[in-house]
Structure 1
Amino acid sequence: MATLQKIRNRGGVLVSIVIGLALVAFIVGDALSSGASLINRSRNEVGEVGGESIGIQEYQQKIMKNEDFIKSMNGLSALTDEQQRMIRENTWNQIVSEIILNKEYEKLGLNVSGDELYDFLLGSNMNPAVSQLFADPNTGQVDKERARLIIKQLIEAPAGTPQKEYWLNMEEQVNTARKQEKYNTLLAKSLFVTDAQAKELAESAATTADISFIMKSYNTVSDSAVKVTANEIKDYYNSHKYLFEQEEARQIAYVNFDITASAEDIKETEDWVNDLKPEFAEAKNVLEFANLSSEKRFQPKYYKKGELDNEELDEFLFTEKSNAVFGPYLKDNAYNIVRVAHRRVLPDSVRARHILIASNNMTQSEKLADSLAGLIRKGGDFDALARQYSADQNTSVNGGDFGWFTQDQMLQPIADSAFFSNKNEVKVVRSNYGFHVLQVTDRSKPVEKVQIGIIAKEITPSQQTINKIYNDARTFANNINTVEDFEAALTANNQTKRIANLGKNDYQIAGIDNAREIIREAYMTEKPGYILTTKEKSPIFEAGDKFSVVVLTGIQEEGIAPLNSVSAAIRAELIRKKKGEIIAKELTNAISGSESLLSVAQKANAEVMDATDVSFSSFQVPGVGIEPVLTAEVVTMKENEISKPIIGNQGVYVVVVNSKTVETVTPEQIEAAKRSIEQTNLYTKFRLILPALVKNAGVVDTRYKFY
């Protein structure tokens, strides 16, 4: 029955089982930015994968199932906006990867037979998720006959039964995971590393060199000394188009109008708090009055002197013994007033132990807790009773001992009881976990502490202030239709322009936390150069604590970036290359006729630098940074020879190897190098395979129309 209860608890949630190499989890999110042009798609589609439509209803149903799962696993009644966004993204990635990989499995003829699936569900190779479901909680062993009986009951249950749906989903996920495992094995078997490759890597790693070198930075040649023609830029672009692939994006310019409290709002808030002080001073129940009056709730904690971060407040609480009220004072954008509720002499920390009786049946649990408490008061062995009865497995092995704790470190019901108990006193305390038989075994030295009531009134903009800010935004937006109008209004109104580059599924813009409406409208607009409007055709967007006016300045299509948008970057690269050629020619002349690196350095007006233990695997060269070409050349050079100019990332180098150490490579090192290459190749293949499949499938993502 316990297993059926597990399935009942999980039955409303269809759980995805992740098995084997984590191929999808860390790859697919980056891969899904590729997709075909969004033209003539059905209004009810959120996307398309390889010609297969994904409807909004199907997508939303899977989202809801995943949301239910997250809430069930974490004991949540609702999810935050951020959690919902993450679930939507993960659900989309899951759908896309399943469609693409299933097509691959079909092409390769990968399948799972009935006998094979049975073996992974209820046979000798039972899947870990399945075995966990049917395992005895005490022994961890699985009674397979009992498991088969339970599954038979589930299969024969009426269609739509949550527990049946849960099991059928588990079967499907185990089946899918097995196919993925086979697919991963095929990929792994397709890789091969030769002995020669492994030996070369091992020998390179075993070679280190101490070097002297000079470096001429690219900055030693001015940009004006280098000529780059339009044809050279075009030729480079045509031969390197793969470098200029870009994702779909939108560019905007915008102005924010912050919705902040005015000076009048701040004064009104302070006056409200001041007016409340006399009534607060006369209140009989300080905490109740504070909780009813305050816009923020505070834990009823006891503080000792010096513990509060406000020195004036701290001094007031421990010197003023009347019902006087401190404040108002500003903290966390609120005016606060404070009054002492209670004064006590309490320890800073206590040590206690407990026996937790889980609340499966409230009446019986409370009765058992009372009986155990009575038994302990009469001299019963607390340690033995905790080991026998406590549902808290973390403490029961230690006789129920919590160890030392402060008020903040413990559940409030237990803390409230423990800190007001005498040493060795036994109490029964109720919490959300059940009934606790609690005994304080030690207390630190008591000191004077105060419990305080705090009334906080947040400073917020009034409706009058909000209306004024909105009117300012409206005045700015009047007569703006184009980007040119926007620029003119900036000057006329002395406003600060911001710019942003937007992805279609982004949720934030710099300075605007919840900007989804703006981003969606940017993607729903087909032509740049004009002001964006809300669904209600207003030019004013409200997001969080801001009003914003936005113009769409550019549309970046997915694919190869146009030449005009990358020409500046190409020009910079060609300038760098030509500078390298100029410096290399200069250094070649300096090398000619020189017998030492010092002589070359003097001719080239450069400084000789040294580096030790440079190897093929060196991440960087001391003094210059990451230079893979330089380290590769050093390993192959002979000692005491001046190198030819080496063109690197930071400049051009000339090197002399002063000494080289070549360790003898053992067969074990060669084998280790072989395994290293295999693992690197395998990781690379797994990292690249799914993005390639996604790109070839032609993924169309139109979720921005709905979310």
Structure 2
Amino acid sequence: MAAIGKIREKSGLLLAIIGLALAAFVLGDLFKNLGKSNNVDKDKIALINGEKVGVQDFNRKVSQQTDLFVQRNKRNPTTEESYVITISEWNRTKREVIMRQQMTELGLLQSIGNMKPQISMDEFMSNIYSLTPNREVVRFFTGDYNGQIAQDQVKGFFDFIERGVNSENAEERSKALEYKSQWELFKGGLKDVLMETKYNNLIVKAYYLPKALADADFDDNSVSNQVAYFGVSYKNVTDEEATVTDADYQKYYDAHKTEYEEDIASRKIDYVSWVVRPSNKDIVDLRQQIEDYYKDLESADKRDVQYLVNRIGDNKYDSIWIAKDSLSVYIDSAAFAYEAGTVLGPWEENTAYHIARIMDKDMRPDSMRASQILISYAGAYGAKGITRTKIGARALADSIKGAISKDKGAFEALLVKSDDPNAVQTKGDFGWFKDGAMLAKINDACINGNIGDVVVVETTIGFSVIRVDDKLENTPKIRVAQIDLPIVFSQETFNEAYSKAIKFAAVNRTYEAFDTASANMGLGVMKSKYISDLAGGILGLKNSRDVVKWMFNSETNVGDVSNVFDFEDKVIVAVLTEARPEGIKTLDEVKDIIKPLVERDVKARILMEKTAGVKSLSQATEFNSSIDTAFVSFATYSLPKYAPEPCVTGRFASAAVGQLQGPIKGMQGVYFFKVLVKGSTPESKDIQYMQQRSASVFAQSVYPNQRDPQKVSSYTPLEENTEMDNNMFFFY
């Protein structure tokens, strides 16, 4: 909102309010921030295995992606969306560099002059015009990975660009340049995809499962042993009985600590906020303002109302005709009861004050149906390949109208004259359309005409010979000029909250002081999750990238308190509570996470001691359990009647027939089993099928997953073994 933007200009006023005593505090924090990147190469985003990623080149790519966002969404990206675009481009650039380096080393790319190694042009074009094109090509032309494209469709796209960029028609030239820009951007990404696909194909084709292993795999899946078993659930041990000691935690941690390794450093903050809401004085002032607007709207000449609304309202004037039950419930009935010129309101709705003036009243159909014969001319909007002059187009349209007026049946025959490419197929029929949905002149012609009338209407697309085919009955409609005034806080109210925050930050410069003061002042302390240095912000704080940059400032230490950060409707002060380096987490950091697992191990130890004397499966009833029997192979995923228990089912295949096995520690309890019958190996083995299946599973692990980009692929180990000096944090 415009009102929010005005509130940003506050620094000078606040320093006057807070006093010169705080100036050193504010400036000190500023100089601290300015000094954080003095040693950073200003021309280098990153160094990847010794290869420089330049700032200018990277920013150019980000700019291209931003332009594409604008083309697709018809608006500029928000601050948060811009950062997402930047990080996405960084991930793509990083991946491209690492993959290109690997493939260059393997000799899989072509070097041309001073250009970076890349796939050959023949290889690139073969993927464009292939009968089975790359799925990214399919998505580009159809919008769907599973779409269908024809070679003629691809050729037509490039022909349009080649023809259109030099077209004298401004619209066609603009569209061709837009398509060309999209294609150039896509082409770079497609080369990266094809390069990685080539690398993955090499890996997949190199995979081979030896026959001996395929034979063993076949047995694992085909040979089933009949097994009798029972389990004793950990629920048989109460939490009180299972006392966990520090030694238990340490033992589990020592055995599993590599499972809790962090690839990147992360940090956490606590913060307090002062939410800014309109004060009582703000409400009084806004009510007076809407009353003043009421008087202005009431006294304004009808011709000036549109200008007035656009100048002072938070909305724009809309001249559409409105049917009953379409306005706010606060004014809908009154609006149709009062005369044109009446001003309604003010009323409060959706955190804003509103007033509305009835501009016009009329009886109009809600929907109409019409047909068109379009006669275009050179220079009209969308007139591709039309050489007819405007005068000639008007004469032809009048001639067609005259012919139809004499013979109503001539309309269908004259459709061949239409410049609408779908006219013959649709018979020129618009179908039913709402009042206001068509071009204004066509809409008005249908409103004012009678069913069966034929009129000629001039619009931006040419001359339209319109036949009014049908209309619904007229209903009351009105046009309304509405002014919206958002209920927002004032500059003064924002300054008051900001001054409280800056005083808090100036006085409480340690974690202990922060914690004590927030408790004494009744300020709710919010806690962030662990945040990495390239995170877009803090969850719950919109556009909070600056907070992350402060957290990872080289001079910010645990216990340091921040300066004030201001957001759209709040100001905050933060304290850095944790700084976790990359690497294996400490026991204290994972203690809460591993607690249920340590408790499970303690209960397993207790149960294994209690069941150590079991000599027969028949003793299952002593432990509130029962014997189950099932045929289980080595590849069986889940133990029937229980759950996945790989440590138990894995022992079925190697156990001797008739021997009691147990107790065995599992995921849900401890188990006992006895193999009753050993399965036999089938005489016929489909070894080739097992090899093909294994190759298919391997291929799925190599190729990136579109639905799960985080899934480990062939690229993952390459990045893990890359030497990288990443300066992204200092630039973004």
Task: Tell me if 1:327 matches 2:327.
Answer: no
8 Å Cα contact 1:202/1:673 also seen in 2: no
Q: Which moved more, 1:188-197 or 1:448-457?
A: 188-197
Q: Residues 571 and 620 of structure 1: is their aligned pair in 2 closer, same or farther, counting only changes over 3 Å?
A: same
Structure 1 equivalent of residue 380 of structure 2: 362
Instruction: Say whether residues 1:97 and 2:62 are aligned partners.
Output: no
C-alpha distance in 2 between matches for 1:61 and 1:204? 54
Note the C-alpha offset of 1:673: 6.7
Change (3 A) 1:323 1:615: farther
Taking structure 1 as reference, are residues 140 and 338 closer, same or farther at Cα in structure 2, changes over 3 Å only? closer
1:241 Cα deviation from its structure 2 partner: 1.7
Q: Which residue identity is paired with 1:698?
A: E
- 1:267 matched to which residue of 2? 284
Q: What whole-Å deviation, never above 9, does each CA across 1:634-666 have from its counterpart, x for those lacking one?
A: 99999999996675545556799999x99x999
Residues 1:548 and 2:547 aligned together: no
Do structure 1's residue 340 and structure 2's residue 358 form an aligned pair? yes
- Matches of 1:613 and 1:279 in 2, distance apart? 87
Which ranges in structure 2 are unaligned for 5 or more consecutive residues?
Answer: 1-36, 113-117, 142-149, 167-177, 382-387, 704-711
- What pairs up with 1:500-519 in 2 under 5 angstroms? 500=528, 501-519=530-548
Residue identity in the other structure for 2:518: L
Q: Is the 1:532–1:550 Cα contact (8 Å) retained in structure 2?
A: yes
Q: Look up the match of 2:470.
A: 442
Cα offsets for 1:398-448 (capped at 9, x unmatched): 234443343586677766665665445556667777776655533334322
Q: Distance in 1 between matches of 2:225 and 2:300?
A: 80
C-alpha change, 1:448 and 1:241, in structure 2 (3 Å) is same
**Cα pair 2:231 2:669 within 8 Å, conserved:** no
- CA 1:504–1:404: 2 relative to 1, 3 Å: farther
Please state whether the residue corresponding to 1:526 is helix, strand or coil. coil
- Mapped to 2, the partners of 1:609 and 1:356 lie a distance apart of 83
Q: Secondary structure at the match of 2:548?
A: helix
Question: RMSD between aligned alpha carbons?
Answer: 5.3
SS of 1:453's equivalent in the other structure is strand
Please state if 1:318 is matched with 2:318: no
In structure 2, the CA distance between the partners of 1:70 and 1:412, relative to structure 1 (3 Å rule), is farther
Partners of 1:291 and 1:424 lie apart in 2 by: 39
More moved, 433-442 vs 550-559: 433-442
Q: What is aligned with 1:302?
A: 321
Confirm whether residue 50 of structure 1 aligns to residue 75 of structure 2: no
| 2:335 partner amino acid | L
- Map 1:48-197; keep pairs closer than 5 Å: 48-71=47-70, 74=72, 76=74, 78-112=76-110, 117=120, 119-120=122-123, 126=129, 140=153, 179-193=195-209, 197=214
Q: Which amino acid aligns with 2:575?
A: V
Structure-1 residue corresponding to 2:496: 468
Show the counterpart of 2:427.
399
Partner residue in 2 for 1:247 = 264
Aligned to 2:523: 495
Q: Is the 8 A contact 1:426 1:437 kept in 2?
A: yes
Change (3 A) 1:696 1:543: same
Q: Kindly state the Cα deviation for residue 483 of structure 1 after the two structures are TM-superposed.
A: 1.2
- Report the Cα offset of residue 314 of structure 1: 2.5
The verdict on how the C-alpha distance between 1:62 and 1:653 changes in structure 2, with shifts beyond 3 A counting, is same
Following TM superposition, by how much is the alpha carbon of 1:456 offset from its aligned partner in structure 2, in angstroms? 0.8
SS in 1 for 2:718: helix
Cα pair distance change 1:138/1:637, threshold 3 Å: closer
Measure the CA separation in 2 of the matches of 1:96 and 1:405.
51
Tell me, in whole angstroms, the C-alpha distance in 2 between the residues paired with 1:641 and 1:421. Answer: 97
**CA 1:473–1:170 in structure 2 vs 1: closer, same or farther (change >3 Å)?**
closer
- Work out whether residues 242 and 599 of structure 2, in 8 Å CA contact, stay in contact via their aligned partners in 1: no
2:480 partner SS: strand
Tell me which moved more, 229-238 or 89-98.
229-238
1:681 to 698, 720, 727: 698
Tell me by how many angstroms 1:105 deviates.
1.3
Q: Structure 1 residues 293, 190: CA separation in 2 closer, same or farther (over 3 Å shift)?
A: same
Distance in 1 (CA, whole Å) between partners of 2:413 and 2:627 is 73
Distance of aligned partners of 1:410 and 1:190 in 2 relative to their CA distance in 1, 3 Å threshold: farther
The yes-or-no answer on 1:456 pairing with 2:484 is yes
1:490 is displaced (CA, Å) by 0.7
How far off its partner does 1:186 sit?
0.7
Is contact 2:371-2:468 (8 Å) kept? yes
Q: Give the corresponding residue for 2:727.
A: 702
Within 2, Cα distance between the matches of 1:408 and 1:634? 75
**Equivalent position amino acid for 1:504 in 2:** D
How far did 1:331 drift? 2.0
Tell me whether 1:522 sits opposite 2:536 in the alignment.
no
User: Among 342, 356, 367, which residue is 1:349 paired with?
Assistant: 367
Alpha-carbon spacing, 1:263–1:353, altered in 2? closer, same or farther (3 Å): farther
Aligned residue pairs total: 640
Give the drift of 1:335.
0.6
CA contact (8 A) 1:256 1:547 kept: yes
Q: Distance in 1 between matches of 2:437 and 2:657?
A: 65
Partner of 1:285 in structure 2? 302
**Amino-acid identity (%):** 23
Per the alignment, residue 25 of structure 1 pairs with none
Is this contact kept in 2: 1:350–1:406, CA < 8 A?
Answer: yes
Query: Is the CA contact (8 Å cut-off) linking 1:429 and 1:438 kept in structure 2?
Result: yes
Deviations 1:609-644 (A, max 9, x none): 999999999998999777677888999999999996
Q: What are the superposed Cα offsets for residues 435-483 of structure 1, whole Å, 9 maximum, x if unpaired?
A: 7665553333432233322211111111111111112212322322211
Q: 1:158-198 CA deviation, whole Å, 9 max, x = no partner?
A: xxxx9999999999878766544432221111223467749
